[in-house]
């Protein structure tokens, strides 16, 4: 019997669209370079892991594409613009909370959290608990971060549903005994969760 619903945050509870933001800010060639520096160096995931010093990571971005270092710095400072609220998140969570306990498990960095406080605070108070990767030094799909959530809140994986926009993260959850949904468009994700809950 499902008792707990565990949510990723980006593209599940709020929109996360770095490409749309960057390509909407810079012309294509510059945007290509900024995206390469931020997302193809392996350092963005280190932000989420929360172990490397932030200054070291930012310097690494700039070393990768020094010709656009000013634009990298600008986009880094304004990374909160990658995120925006989904209008349906609050009513969805309020409806689910009537019957289930709600948790979050998200790869999320300290600088992103500082820059998205308002949107996070719009739905995190509805949660019964959760883990940000930057607080524990682990990132999905590492099984250890899922186990940390189970242990912290005494959760039985067989009683949990997990939603994430990454198929890799969903497969990791399923391997640990959870039912899971690969999140897509918000309306379809909510319908898919309802179908799964009805079948459980």
Over residues 22-51, the mean pLDDT reads 96
The whole-number pLDDT of residue 47 equals 96
Q: Which two tokens mark 137?
A: 């030094």
Structural domain containing residue 123: 4-16+84-199
* Number of domains within the chain: 2
127: CATH:
3.40.50.1000
- Report pLDDT digits (tens) over 38-77: 999 899 999 999 999 999 999 999 999 999 999 999 999 9
**64 and 38: one domain?**
yes
How far is the first Cα of the chain from the last one, in angstroms, to the nearest whole number?
6
pTM over 0.85: yes
**8 and 105: one domain?**
yes
**44 and 90: one domain?**
no
Torsion on CA atoms 100, 164, 168, 101, rounded to nearest 10: -20
**58 and 136: one domain?**
no
Q: Which residues have CB under 8 Å from 125's CB, separation 6+?
A: none
User: Which of 82, 107, 135 finishes a domain?
Assistant: 82
**124 and 190: one domain?**
yes
**100 and 47: one domain?**
no
- Report pLDDT digits (tens) over 105-148: 999 999 999 999 999 999 999 999 999 999 999 999 999 999 99
**164 and 68: one domain?**
no
CA 30 to CA 41: how far, in whole Å? 16
């Amino acid at each position: 019997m499902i008792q707990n619903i565990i949510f990723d945050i980006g593209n599940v509870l709020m929109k996360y669209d770095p490409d749309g933001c960057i390509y909407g800010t810079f012309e294509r060639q510059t945007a290509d370079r900024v995206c390469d520096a931020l997302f193809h160096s392996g350092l963005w995931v280190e932000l989420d892991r929360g172990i490397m010093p932030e200054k070291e990571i930012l310097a690494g971005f700039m070393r990768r594409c020094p010709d656009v270092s000013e634009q990298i710095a600008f986009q880094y400072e304004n990374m909160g613009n990658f995120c925006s609220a989904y209008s349906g998140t609050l009513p969805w969570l309020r409806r689910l909370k009537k019957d289930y306990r709600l948790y979050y498990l998200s790869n999320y960095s300290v600088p992103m959290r500082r820059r998205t406080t308002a949107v996070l605070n719009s739905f995190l108070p509805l949660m019964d608990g959760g883990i940000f990767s930057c607080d524990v030094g682990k990132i999905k799909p590492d099984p250890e971060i899922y186990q940390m959530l189970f242990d912290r809140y005494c959760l039985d994986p067989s009683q949990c549903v997990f939603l994430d926009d990454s198929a890799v993260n969903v497969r990791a959850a399923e391997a640990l005994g959870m039912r899971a949904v690969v999140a897509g468009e918000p309306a379809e994700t909510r319908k898919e969760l309802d179908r799964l809950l009805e079948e459980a």
